C-alpha cells in the first residue's frame, strides 16, 4: 500500500466529474487500499478517488473511532434523499476549514462492493452526510460550493495566499 497525494482546493482536477468504474480488478482494489491508507494517515473519515487525482467513481470511508469499519463504494448513487440536517463539515482537500452545510438527513445509496456485488444501504446522520460529501466529490463539487459567495471568495483568497507561501496546496 502507498500513501497518495491529496489534491487541495482550488486544484482544477477537483472539479472533474468521475467516470463510472467498468470492472473491479486488482488495480481498483489496490487503489481502494491506497486511498484507505491515505485517508487514515490524514485523519479523515472519507476520501473520493477524485481527491487523489483518479477520475473514477470510487470512495472509501470509515467513521469508527478505531479505524476498523472501512466501507468501500464503487459507482455509488443516491436513490432517495429525505429530510434535512445542518452539520459542520471539513474536507481533506480544503484543510483547516470547517463550515456548516445543509444536506439530506436520510439517504438510500446503491453501490458495488469490491466483490462486484450490488449493495443498498439506508443511512442517516453522519453516515449520510459523509456519503453525500464524497459523492459530491465524484461529481466535481466541493462542500465550499454550498457556502455563500462571500465565504467562497475568502476561502479562495486564503488558498491562493497559502499556495504562494507554500503552506497549503
CATH at 89: 3.90.45.10
- Structural domain span for residue 43: 12-164
Residue 127: per-residue pLDDT: 97
Structural domain contains residue 61: yes
Residue 157: per-residue pLDDT: 82
Structural domain contains residue 160: yes
pLDDT tens digit sequence for 61-106: 999 999 999 999 999 999 999 999 999 999 999 998 899 999 999 9
Task: Catalytic residue, from 54, 66, 117, 134: name it.
Answer: 134
Residue 27: alpha-carbon gap to chain centroid: 20
Beta strands in the chain (DSSP E): 46-48, 58-61, 71-82, 85-91, 94-103, 106-112, 118-124
Its pTM stands at: 0.91
Residue 120: per-residue pLDDT: 98
Residue 21: per-residue pLDDT: 98
Domain count for the chain, please give it.
Answer: 1
Residue 22: per-residue pLDDT: 97
Q: Which of 105, 101, 109, 103 is nearest to 124 (CA)?
A: 105
Structural domain contains residue 137: yes
Structural domain contains residue 2: no
The verdict on whether 134 is a catalytic residue reads yes
Contact between 22 and 109 (Cβ < 8 Å): no
Structural domain contains residue 30: yes
Q: What is the mean pLDDT of each run of 10 residues along the chain (169 residues)?
A: 92 96 97 98 97 98 95 98 96 92 97 98 97 98 90 81 57
Amino acid at each position: 500500500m502507498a500513501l497518495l497525494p491529496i489534491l487541495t482546493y482550488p486544484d482544477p482536477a477537483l472539479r472533474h466529474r468521475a467516470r463510472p468504474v467498468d470492472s473491479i480488478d486488482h488495480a481498483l482494489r489496490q487503489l481502494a487500499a491506497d486511498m484507505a491508507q491515505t485517508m487514515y494517515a490524514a485523519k479523515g473519515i472519507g476520501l473520493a478517488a477524485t481527491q487523489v487525482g483518479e477520475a473514477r467513481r470510487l470512495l472509501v470511508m470509515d467513521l469508527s473511532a478505531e479505524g476498523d469499519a472501512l466501507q468501500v463504494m464503487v459507482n455509488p448513487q443516491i436513490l432517495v434523499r429525505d429530510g434535512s440536517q445542518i452539520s459542520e463539515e471539513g474536507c481533506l482537500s480544503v484543510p483547516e476549514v470547517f463550515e456548516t452545510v445543509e444536506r439530506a438527513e436520510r439517504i438510500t445509496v446503491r453501490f458495488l462492493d469490491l466483490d462486484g456485488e450490488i449493495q443498498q444501504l439506508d443511512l442517516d446522520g453522519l453516515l449520510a452526510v459523509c456519503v453525500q460529501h464524497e459523492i459530491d466529490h465524484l461529481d466535481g463539487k466541493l462542500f465550499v460550493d454550498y457556502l455563500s459567495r462571500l465565504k467562497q471568495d475568502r476561502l479562495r483568497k486564503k488558498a491562493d495566499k497559502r499556495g504562494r507561501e507554500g503552506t497549503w496546496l
